[in-house]
């Protein structure tokens, strides 16, 4: 069977189109897909690198804070206790007789530092006495801070306040 020139031309064109389509599917598309995957992988790795850099900076800051805390703890007197510190401050602020109770908690914490907590209740104190006492016990040098405070008016004498404080410090 003889094909006409026009039919040969169409068959040749069809073969070229098929070869071109196969070439695109088997050679060019995998290359383009691989390139896209590579770009996505690079973007993901850049995000991971940024996260690692950020975490490294946070770690260095925490390490510096830990060193500062260790230095401050070392500069505190060796016989420092939170209970006696709060008692002395209460004497200076004139609220020692207003202490209803002081409950020390056991030291807790993992790692190089342990947290010591004292809960105390002050009754029938003025606002000025409260502020003066808080100024005395909030001591960055001695690493003492108020964790929680609850203040309300005294039920019997409304010109006075009752307060429950949770005061904490760290020890090594």
Per-residue pLDDT tens for 17-70?
A: 999 888 888 888 888 788 888 889 999 999 999 999 999 999 999 899 888 888
- Shared domain check, 88 and 70: no
Is the whole model's pTM more than 0.85, yes or no? no
- Is the predicted pLDDT of residue 97 greater than 70, yes or no? yes
- Shared domain check, 69 and 42: yes
Place 109 in a pLDDT band, splitting at 50, 70 and 90. Answer: low
The radius of gyration of the chain's CA atoms, rounded to the nearest angstrom, is: 37
If one counts the domains in the chain, the total is: 2
- Shared domain check, 161 and 101: yes
CA quadruple 154, 157, 161, 162: dihedral sign: negative
Domain end point (choices 75, 108, 141): 75
- Shared domain check, 99 and 118: yes
- Shared domain check, 97 and 123: yes
- Shared domain check, 92 and 58: no
Q: What is the residue range of 27's domain? A: 1-75
Burial 11-27 (b: 16+ CB within 10 A, else e): eeeeeeeeeeeeeeeee
């Amino acid at each position: 069977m003889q094909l006409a020139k026009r039919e040969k031309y169409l068959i040749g064109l069809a073969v070229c189109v098929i070869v071109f389509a196969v070439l695109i599917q088997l050679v060019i598309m995998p290359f383009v897909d691989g390139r896209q995957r590579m770009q996505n992988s690079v973007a993901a790795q850049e995000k991971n690198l940024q996260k690692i850099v950020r975490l490294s900076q946070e770690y260095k800051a925490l390490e510096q804070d830990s060193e500062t805390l260790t230095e401050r703890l070392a500069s505190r007197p060796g016989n420092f206790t939170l209970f006696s510190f709060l008692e002395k401050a209460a004497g200076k602020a004139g609220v020692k007789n207003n202490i209803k109770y002081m409950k020390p908690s056991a030291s807790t914490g993992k790692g190089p530092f342990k947290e010591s907590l004292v809960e105390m209740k002050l009754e029938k104190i003025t606002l000025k006495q409260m502020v003066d006492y808080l100024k005395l016990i909030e001591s960055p040098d001695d690493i003492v801070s108020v964790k929680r405070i609850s203040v309300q008016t005294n039920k019997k004498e409304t010109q006075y306040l009752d307060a429950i404080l949770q005061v904490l410090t760290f020890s090594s």
